[in-house]
Amino acid sequence: MFYEKYLKMREKNNSVLIVGLDSDTNKFNSKFSKDAIGIFEFNKYIIEQTNEYVCGYKPNIAFYEKHGYKGIQALEKTVEYIKKYTELPIIIDAKRGDIGNTAAAYAEAFFKYLKVDSITINPYMGMETINPYIELENSHVFVLGLTSNKGAKDFELENDLYLKVIKNVNEYNKKFKDKIGIVVGATNDEHIEKITKNSGNMVYLIPGIGAQGGSIEKLFKGLNGYKNIVINSSRGIIFSEDPKKSAKELKENLNKARGL
Amino acid sequence: MFYEKYLKMREKNNSVLIVGLDSDTNKFNSKFSKDAIGIFEFNKYIIEQTNEYVCGYKPNIAFYEKHGYKGIQALEKTVEYIKKYTELPIIIDAKRGDIGNTAAAYAEAFFKYLKVDSITINPYMGMETINPYIELENSHVFVLGLTSNKGAKDFELENDLYLKVIKNVNEYNKKFKDKIGIVVGATNDEHIEKITKNSGNMVYLIPGIGAQGGSIEKLFKGLNGYKNIVINSSRGIIFSEDPKKSAKELKENLNKARGL
């Protein structure tokens, strides 16, 4: 169960950092081949370098789908590897969203076949589309609330759609006992206070610091002591010269901001 | 290019019907094995039975992902088969939605690796998330507008979000010369008139008749002569006793409703 696993590893590694395995072969250095085999070798290396500084991993499935079925095989091997050598929870960043019978098929893909701990999903099509995931045993989802990209202003921020989503999702989370979290972009820090008032104790998955320009200082000001957070960094760690050092440093900076 | 291919095949086969290859192995009869191999054999059978009555195929990728990398292999073989033996356009129902570099990876997956004609995408994260798809050559997307499920009332219909999406997307479609269509659920027929007034000549991908309860009569009343339509049927055809007969009948019923 994601929530317990997260709490345990947050404590054990004293970290709210999650590393995004957005393993884009275009950005690989010459040590790794730019194909599905290279992806798995790259991920192994990143996991070995970073696992003691994080509370989980988040592969974004787009970078695997790009390589067709062999890419999906690399993802499957990566998931297996993380589960075998660590106790860290795995969130697949998939942003899936579809109606009943289709959502049920996605839920099977991620929780019965791939057996990960959580996935991200998109709420556009309504609350019923969340059910097929959370009705499964050992499942958990992060629902997109307010994302970190500029486009968030087009529909999410318009008429406070994000807040309506978060309020609805929070009711579901109470009913389904901590099986839901929400995505809260670090770049939209001025809205975070409103979110903390409407989200109970749901875990926030927070992208947007680093490459996307979100500031740690402003983010934590917005969070104002809210503790159930997972802060994602992808490119800033996995493509840095020294992923181990980058993960350690970011973990420490985040802990400072947490007042630890 | 999807739009030209669609117009050509609509004319050639005199049909606006598209068959959804939602090839759920749980619903296979004993002729087909309930695994990835069975999926491809099943799809081959459906394509052979139905290709002269349709203007395209729409596999929903969830039913392939459910079987892991072997399922994706079955999808790849299905796409190859359709392209080799027909001129019909292929829409992958994927409902992807993500930020810039990730959307670009999905775009590569579908238009460079799998080489299909169109995919469905989700607009929640904003208009910029559409760019990476339509900036590619030979690409086309269907953006979710108003979907056919009950949950559409939660966010899409609230504050006319669907209409805001459709108006924005229509502006994009003019700029990107017919590379975008929209999803318009048949079950929400009372809103279709408003959509036709705000969507230029974009192709509507219309799910929701049949299993989901949308009525052909009400749908066409809402469409009021609007011609750029693709009407999807999945379960009603592929799991019927006689897919050939079901496809032929539905094509003819739709043509009657079109006044042909």
Residue A150 and residue B128: Cβ atoms within 8 Å? yes
| Cα A50 from Cα A58, distance rounded (Å) | 13
Catalytic residues of A: 95
A131 membership: H or E segment, kind and range: helix A131-134
The first and second tokens of residue B236, run together, are 């009603």
In whole angstroms, what is the distance from residue A221 CA to residue A138 CA?
Answer: 33
pLDDT value of residue B69: 98
* CB pair distance less than 8 Å for B100 and A149: yes
Q: Residue B29: what are its φ and ψ, rounded to 5°?
A: -85, 180
Asked if pLDDT for residue B1 goes beyond 80, the answer is yes
Q: What letter represents residue B254's amino acid?
A: L
The tens digit of pLDDT for each residue in A105-152 reads 999 999 999 999 999 999 999 999 999 999 999 999 999 999 999 999
Q: Please indicate whether, in this complex, the C-beta atoms of B113 and A68 are within 8 angstroms of each other.
A: yes
Q: How far is A121 from chain B (nearest CA, A)?
A: 10
Tell the CATH topology of A2-257.
TIM Barrel (3.20.20)
Per-residue model confidence as pLDDT tens digits over B155-204? 999 999 999 999 999 999 999 999 999 999 999 888 999 999 999 999 99
A56: left (phi over 0), alpha (psi -120 to 50) or beta: left
With 90 as the cut, is the pLDDT of residue B109 above it? yes
B95 is catalytic: yes
Tell me the average pLDDT across B233-241.
96
Cβ–Cβ under 8 Å, residues B235 and B243: no
Q: DSSP for chain B?
A: -HHHHHHHHHHHTT--EEEE----GGG--TTS-SSHHHHHHHHHHHHHHHGGG-S-EE-BTHHHHTTHHHHHHHHHHHHHHHHHH----BEEEEEE---HHHHHHHHIIIIIIS--SEEEE--TT-GGGTHHHHTSTT--EEEEEE-SSGGGGTTTSGGGHHHHHHHHHHHHHHHTTS-EEEEE-GGGGGGHHHHHTTSTTPPEEE--BGGG-B-HHHHHHHHTT---EEEEESHHHHTSS-HHHHHHHHHHHHHHHTT-
Q: Does residue A5 contact residue A54 with C-beta atoms inside 8 Å?
A: no
ipTM of the complex: 0.97
Residue A152 with chain B: CB contacts under 8 Å: 125-126
State the pLDDT confidence band at A7, using cuts at 50, 70 and 90: very high
> Does the distance separating the beta carbons of B122 and A95 come in below 8 Å?
yes
Neighbours of B176 (CB within 10 A): 17
Distance CA A242, CA B250 (A): 60
Query: In the structure, what pLDDT confidence band is assigned to residue A202 with cuts at 50, 70 and 90?
Result: very high
User: How close does chain B come to A150, measured CA to CA in Å?
Assistant: 8
pLDDT score, position A189: 84
Going from N- to C-terminal start, the domains of chain B cover 2-257
The rounded percent of chain B whose pLDDT value lies above 90 is 96
Q: What is the pLDDT of residue B189?
A: 85
